[in-house]
Structure 1
Amino acid sequence: MHILLVDDHTLFREALLHVLHQIDPQTVVLEAANAEEAAQWIVRMRTLDLVLLDIDLPDVDGLTALPNLRELAPTVPIVVLSGSETSSHVKRALDSGAVGYVPKSCSSHEMLAALRLILQGDIYVPPRLLGKLEGARLSAPAAGGFEAPPVPLTSRQIEVLKLMARGLPNKSIANTLNLAEGTVKLHVSAIMRCLGARNRTGAVIEASRLGLVPGPVAVSEE
């Protein structure tokens, strides 16, 4: 496994190395101190499994750099690390394509659990921050669709999408997949962004057109 760690604090990177090796002792951790170095690593490495991106970087902050890094590595999960727990930062990270938001205040156990979930295809935001996102809608896609998702859906998102196509609301999807309802909401928002849809019905229709799910049915707009 290859993980790119982007943080300008050497001490934090060194501390996190011990945590990351608990995921897999054979993990290779690449280090970058700024967004430019991160971009260089992504272009050079074609076998990245995960990118951990700090917000507070010199020159270009992590949230500003995220869309470009996302474009360079469309299939690699990017997780934002931050000392901030404000809803605006969490929302902006998810809107820009991050699949996880891990506060630096979390324990090593919580971080490991989050990263394992993300590597399985899930989206992670700490439960205490999910409440802050309630009522703060993630950005709707721009007008004018496109022929294919700009970021491939994860296997978990495909599972959620198929259940959406069956008309299941978030609570039923959560129960079926043994996920928290808040996590399902994050997946649904990510699916709509990827498919250029403004609502669940539009997402299912576009997914059907792309052959990702069978023909659309009555969809719950929960």
Structure 2
Amino acid sequence: MQILVADDHNLVRDGLKPFLYELDPDAKILDAANFDDALTQAKTASQLGLVLLDLKMPGMNGLQGVEVMRRLHPTVPVVILSGHVERNEVLAAVRAGAAGYIPKTISGTALTNALRLVLAGESYLPPSILLDSGPVERKAAMTPLSSLSVREREILGYLIEGETNKEIARRLDLQEITIKIHLRNVYRKIGAVNRAQAVRIAMSAGWPIAPAST
């Protein structure tokens, strides 16, 4: 599989490569520093399986770059990389055809999980966006995740990002025992027996597409 990584920062492109090789050790990584170069490489790529585009790199023209890339390779998932997350921008990316919107602040574990989800034909959006009450244009269906409360979904999101109970507790300003109680409820609701199985169930159910219960 060929993976196209387009970002105007060398450090970002080089930093992504180890995680992309986790997806496919035999992957051929194509990199570009601007959209014009990315488009040139995409036109000649015969086994392109994934495209990562920096939202702010030269030549992107906002989300027009996503639309152009989708027209060129309609079946290849295009994922936006961004240094910040704004709900309206994320929704606009979805409307433009992006299969995912990944913040550059995401952990390596969360990145590979997100990209595996995208390669499986699902969508990935930042958990913070999903906790917003407004609509998101994605595949929606009743799944094991649908019964989770907002807090449980929030904790599950951090779990998927690879954070420990202590890290989640610190982030949410809660006691670690409270996190453990929430996780037990999550496991019970989705039918998991441990953290690893919870992550697998969430991903196979299309995390993060299910609506949270109130």
Scaled by the length of structure 1, the TM-score of the pair is 0.63
Residue identity over aligned pairs, in percent, reads: 36
- Higher RCO (CA 8 Å, separation ≥ 6 residues): 2
Q: What amino acid is aligned across from residue 34 of structure 2 in structure 1?
A: N
The alpha-carbon distance between structure 1 residues 7 and 62, as it changes in their structure 2 partners (threshold 3 A), is farther
Q: How many Å apart are 1:128 and its aligned residue?
A: 1.8
The alpha-carbon distance between structure 1 residues 9 and 58, as it changes in their structure 2 partners (threshold 3 A), is same
Bigger shift: residues 36-45 or 171-180: 171-180
The alpha-carbon distance between structure 1 residues 51 and 172, as it changes in their structure 2 partners (threshold 3 A), is closer
Residue 179 (str. 1) matches residue 182 (str. 2): no
* Corresponding residue of 1:96: 96
* Corresponding residue of 1:11: 11
Whole-Å separation in 2 of the counterparts to 1:20 and 1:172: 28
* Corresponding residue of 1:193: none
Whole-Å separation in 1 of the counterparts to 2:57 and 2:128: 25
Bigger shift: residues 58-67 or 174-183: 174-183
Bigger shift: residues 18-27 or 87-96: 18-27
The alpha-carbon distance between structure 1 residues 47 and 136, as it changes in their structure 2 partners (threshold 3 A), is same
Whole-Å separation in 1 of the counterparts to 2:126 and 2:136: 17
Matches within 5 A, 1:40-51: 40-51=40-51
Q: How many Å apart are 1:182 and its aligned residue?
A: 5.0
Matches within 5 A, 1:67-86: 67-86=67-86
* Corresponding residue of 1:195: none
1:99-143 residue CA offsets vs partner (Å, 9 max, x unmatched): 1111101000000000111111111112222123x324549xxxx
Q: What amino acid is aligned across from residue 20 of structure 1 in structure 2?
A: L
Please list every run of 5 or more consecutive structure 1 residues that lacks an aligned counterpart in the other structure.
140-156, 161-169, 186-222
* Corresponding residue of 2:134: 135
Q: What do you get for the CA RMSD once the two structures are aligned?
A: 2.5
The alpha-carbon distance between structure 1 residues 62 and 23, as it changes in their structure 2 partners (threshold 3 A), is farther
Whole-Å separation in 1 of the counterparts to 2:3 and 2:61: 20
**Per the alignment, in what secondary structure is the counterpart of residue 85 of structure 2?**
coil
Q: How many residues align?
A: 156
* Corresponding residue of 1:125: 125
Whole-Å separation in 1 of the counterparts to 2:77 and 2:65: 15
Matches within 5 A, 1:138-157: 138=137
- Contact 1:35/1:62 (CA < 8 Å) preserved in 2? no
- Contact 1:81/1:104 (CA < 8 Å) preserved in 2? yes
The alpha-carbon distance between structure 1 residues 26 and 180, as it changes in their structure 2 partners (threshold 3 A), is closer
Whole-Å separation in 2 of the counterparts to 1:79 and 1:10: 18
Whole-Å separation in 2 of the counterparts to 1:89 and 1:6: 19
* Corresponding residue of 1:108: 108
Q: How many Å apart are 1:64 and its aligned residue?
A: 2.7
